[in-house]
Amino acid sequence: MAAHIATHGRLVADVQTKITSNGHSMAFGRMAVPLPCHGADDGQSTFWLAVTAFGKQADFLAKHSKGDLISVSGTMNISQWTGGDGQMNTGYQVLADSVISARTVRGGGKHQSQ
């Protein structure tokens, strides 16, 4: 069984790309997703999510850079590992089926430039 996620957030670093051994595009990104949190002072908490995409979705993700808003849907994966300090760490990743640009219009009706 697989968990499917659809989320909207901001890229927190430039997207990294590479070509797989069989010649397909691959792209990696990290995004911050704001979530409601009643215990937080500002009412929000940040969910950190890694994004991995292949093929056409990777090519589209690669057109984005740090700070861009994107919407992503795909299969959710959770990784756990023991860090150098002996603490258990957990990371979250989505294997993207769909990547959609969510750039916003800025004042004066101009779209954000690339």
Whole-prediction pTM: 0.80
Domain residue spans of the chain: 3-102
Query: Does 3-102 carry CATH code 3.90.550.10?
Result: no
Per-residue pLDDT of the chain (114 residues), as tens digits, is 679 999 999 999 999 999 999 999 999 999 999 998 888 888 889 999 999 999 999 999 999 999 999 999 999 999 999 999 999 999 999 999 999 997 654 444 445 544
Three-state SS for the chain is CCEEEEEEEEECCCCEEEECCCCCEEEEEEEEEEEECCCCCCCEEEEEEEEEEEHHHHHHHCCCCCCCEEEEEEEEEEEEEECCCCCEEEEEEEEEEEEEECCCEEHHHEECCC
